[in-house]
């Protein structure tokens, strides 16, 4: 169970707005995609922070005359920094090869900007303020370059090697341009400490993003495994029922053939026994299928609460289900099964509430979860843009459309849609007294 485009999933048009409006693009994103967007723009913000660090003196009149081009070429470095960070992040997600050439070009541009800044500080025109500002550009460019470059490597050792390489390069560059020894040590220490801190932030951000994606994949895998396990259980039950009976039918049929060839009247008795076993097998298969398709509402509620809690989703269940007819429990149990699966697979929920109440001769089951997601609701409904009232398959397909079809067979209804405040709500109503004479056959 998860969000839908506002007004699309609710058959009565009751919605909390339009997800295509302001902020709709964010709500349609999955949780991992949101974390990736946040991470990507955080690295872009590093480029803005770098420019802000070297551009502050510009407002005070320092960057004027022949040294005006220094902050301008720093803008090129900031832009290239943002592009490199984006391409490297795509590489960490396996969407493109490692941007080796771009990283080499970025390192060369960094070296050029740092050399120009240091030359300006040591030998360029201007007074003490210009020298100090240019020296700041030298350190800032190298620190942010070390941060971005670590995105293109894997592991802490390689990241530390990158930072150490930039720190060593800063010292060598300072010595080659005639900087005094204490200034060289200060520049090396500044790049090592500042670059190390920024690189640690970058590596941790990438690790966090990878972890979020892996957790999301694990959640989907767990849901698929649950379905596969249930299918295996069903297959084992059918094998236990049919395997023995089919073996007996084969033996008795062979015996009847042999008796018939000899003209023995016992062949008729054996074929009557085969007919009886075949009918018994048919009845047992129906019982197995009925047990598989029917659901105990109380058990389903406890199972849903346990599964959602294990997935880190707060789940609250209210209401009593004792004494409800088996047909009603079976129909609503399917609603609980499907909505729980949808919360796990499609939604971005942190909280889910389930309430069962009896009113006016009907049992009303309400399931609400936050983290409404429009694309997820389409997947749950089983149709593009279809709401809960969309016709399911003849056998009661999957998703909200299938649930609506199943409930209609027992005289019930299903409503689904965004209830406002980022909540997605599913309301199922089933009459206490099911008058349809074929209810049991339908549920089977």
DSSP string over 132-145: HHHHHHHHHHHHHH
Tell me phi and psi for residue 154, to 5 degrees.
-120, 140
Long-range contacts formed by 231-239: CB under 8 A, 24+ apart: 234/288, 234/292, 237/288, 237/291, 237/292, 238/285, 238/288
Least confident of 124-128, 170-174, 336-340, 414-418: 124-128
Residues whose CB falls within 8 Å of the CB of residue 205, separated by 6 or more in sequence, listed in order: 39, 42, 43
- Read off the tokens for 288: 């197995």
Q: Residue 320 carries which DSSP code? A: -
Which of 205, 172, 67, 189 minimizes the C-alpha distance to 125? 67
Q: Answer yes or no: is pLDDT of 158 > 90.
A: no
When comparing pLDDT for 302 and 54, which is higher?
A: 302
Sign of the CA dihedral with 325 first, then 328, 331, and 333 last: negative
Count other Cβ atoms within 10 Å, centred on residue 337.
17
Provide the pLDDT for residue 62.
52
414 confidence band (pLDDT: 50, 70, 90)? very high
Average the pLDDT over 308-337 and give the result: 83
Average the pLDDT over 258-262 and give the result: 88
Q: What is d(CA 190, CA 141) in angstroms, rounded to the nearest whole number?
A: 11
Least confident of 56-60, 70-74, 196-200: 56-60
Pairing, β 413-420 against β 351-359: unpaired
When comparing pLDDT for 159 and 286, which is higher?
A: 159
What is the three-class DSSP state of 11? coil
Provide the pLDDT for residue 429.
93
Q: Residue 65 carries which DSSP code? A: G
Average the pLDDT over 102-109 and give the result: 91
What is the three-class DSSP state of 28? coil
Provide the pLDDT for residue 367.
93
Provide the pLDDT for residue 426.
92
Provide the pLDDT for residue 269.
87
Which of 204, 190, 200 minimizes the C-alpha distance to 142? 190
363 confidence band (pLDDT: 50, 70, 90)? very high
397 confidence band (pLDDT: 50, 70, 90)? very low
Rounded to 5°, angle at Cα 325 from 320 and 327 = 120
Rounding to the nearest 10 degrees, give the CA dihedral for residues 142, 146, 149, 150. 180
Q: What is d(CA 281, CA 259) in angstroms, rounded to the nearest whole number?
A: 24
Average the pLDDT over 275-296 and give the result: 75
Average the pLDDT over 36-48 and give the result: 85
When comparing pLDDT for 227 and 185, which is higher?
A: 185
Q: What is d(CA 158, CA 53) in angstroms, rounded to the nearest whole number?
A: 27
Q: Answer yes or no: is pLDDT of 388 > 70.
A: no
Average the pLDDT over 222-228 and give the result: 74
Average the pLDDT over 270-283 and give the result: 86
Residue linked to tokens 């020296």? 135
How large a percentage of the chain has pLDDT more than 70?
78
Which of 221, 217, 213 minimizes the C-alpha distance to 32? 213
What is the three-class DSSP state of 390? coil
Provide the pLDDT for residue 437.
39
105 confidence band (pLDDT: 50, 70, 90)? very high
Q: Answer yes or no: is pLDDT of 2 > 70.
A: no
Provide the pLDDT for residue 176.
80
Which of 35, 39, 94 minimizes the C-alpha distance to 348? 35
Q: Residue 304 carries which DSSP code? A: H
When comparing pLDDT for 429 and 184, which is higher?
A: 429
Q: What is d(CA 428, CA 70) in angstroms, rounded to the nearest whole number?
A: 67
Q: Answer yes or no: is pLDDT of 365 > 90.
A: yes
Provide the pLDDT for residue 132.
75
Least confident of 91-100, 181-190, 382-391, 430-439: 382-391
Q: Answer yes or no: is pLDDT of 93 > 70.
A: yes
Provide the pLDDT for residue 55.
62
Provide the pLDDT for residue 313.
84
Q: Which of 1-5, 335-339, 370-374, 420-424 has the highest mean pLDDT?
A: 335-339
Average the pLDDT over 196-202 and give the result: 87
Alpha helices in 262-296 (DSSP H): 266-293
68 confidence band (pLDDT: 50, 70, 90)? low
Q: What's the chain's length in residues?
A: 444
Q: Answer yes or no: is pLDDT of 6 > 80.
A: no
Which of 402, 397, 395 minimizes the C-alpha distance to 441? 395
Q: What is d(CA 355, CA 429) in angstroms, rounded to the nearest whole number?
A: 12
Burial (CB < 10 A; 0-12, 13-18, 19+), residue 61, is exposed
What is the three-class DSSP state of 188? helix
Query: 69-92 vs 31-59: helix axis angle to the nearest 10?
Result: 170
Q: What is d(CA 444, CA 442) in angstroms, rounded to the nearest whole number?
A: 5
Provide the pLDDT for residue 399.
66
State the DSSP string of 200-216.
HHHHHHHHHHHHHHHHH
When comparing pLDDT for 426 and 46, which is higher?
A: 426
Provide the pLDDT for residue 173.
83
Q: What is d(CA 233, CA 239) in angstroms, rounded to the nearest whole number?
A: 10
Average the pLDDT over 326-332 and give the result: 83
Q: What is d(CA 271, CA 418) in angstroms, rounded to the nearest whole number?
A: 61
């Amino acid at each position: 169970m998860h969000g839908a485009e506002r007004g699309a999933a609710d058959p009565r048009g009751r919605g909390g707005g339009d997800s295509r409006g302001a902020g709709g693009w964010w709500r349609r994103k999955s949780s991992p995609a949101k974390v990736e967007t946040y991470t990507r723009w955080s690295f872009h913000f590093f480029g803005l922070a770098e420019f802000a660090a070297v551009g502050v003196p510009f407002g005070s009149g320092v960057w004027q005359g022949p040294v005006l081009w220094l902050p301008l070429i720093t803008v090129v470095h900031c832009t290239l920094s943002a592009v490199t960070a984006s391409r490297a992040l795509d590489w960490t997600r396996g969407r493109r090869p490692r941007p080796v050439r771009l990283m080499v070009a970025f390192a060369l541009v960094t070296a050029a900007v740092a050399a120009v800044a240091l030359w300006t500080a040591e030998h360029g025109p201007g007074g003490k303020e210009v020298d100090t500002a240019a020296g700041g550009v030298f350190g800032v460019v190298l620190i942010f370059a070390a941060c971005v470059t670590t995105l293109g490597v894997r592991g802490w050792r390689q990241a530390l090697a990158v930072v150490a390489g930039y720190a060593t390069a800063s010292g060598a560059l300072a010595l080659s341009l005639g900087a005094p020894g204490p200034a060289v040590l200060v520049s090396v220490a500044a790049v090592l400490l500042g670059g190390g801190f920024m690189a640690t932030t970058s590596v941790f951000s990438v690790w966090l993003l990878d972890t979020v994606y892996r957790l999301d994949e694990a959640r989907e895998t767990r849901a698929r495994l649950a379905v596969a396990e249930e299918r295996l259980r069903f297959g084992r039950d059918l094998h236990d029922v049919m395997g023995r009976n089919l073996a007996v039918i084969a033996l008795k049929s062979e015996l009847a053939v042999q008796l018939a060839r000899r003209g023995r009247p016992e062949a008729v008795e054996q074929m009557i026994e085969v007919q009886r076993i075949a009918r018994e097998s048919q009845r047992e298969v129906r019982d197995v299928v009925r047990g598989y398709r029917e659901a105990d509402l109380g058990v389903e509620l406890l199972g849903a609460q346990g599964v959602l809690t294990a997935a880190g989703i707060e789940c609250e269940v209210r209401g009593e289900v004792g004494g409800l007819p088996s047909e009603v429990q079976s129909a609503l149990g399917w609603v609980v099964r499907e909505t729980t699966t949808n919360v796990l697979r499609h939604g971005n929920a942190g909280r889910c509430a389930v309430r069962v109440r009896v009113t006016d001769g009907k049992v009303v089951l309400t399931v609400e979860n936050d983290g409404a997601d429009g694309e997820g609701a389409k997947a749950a409904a089983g149709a593009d843009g279809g709401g809960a009232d969309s016709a399911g398959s003849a056998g009661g397909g999957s998703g909200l459309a299938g649930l609506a079809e199943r409930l209609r067979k027992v005289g019930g209804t299903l409503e689904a849609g965004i209830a406002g405040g980022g909540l997605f709500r599913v309301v199922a109503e089933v009459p206490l007294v099911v008058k349809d004479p074929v209810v049991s056959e339908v549920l089977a």
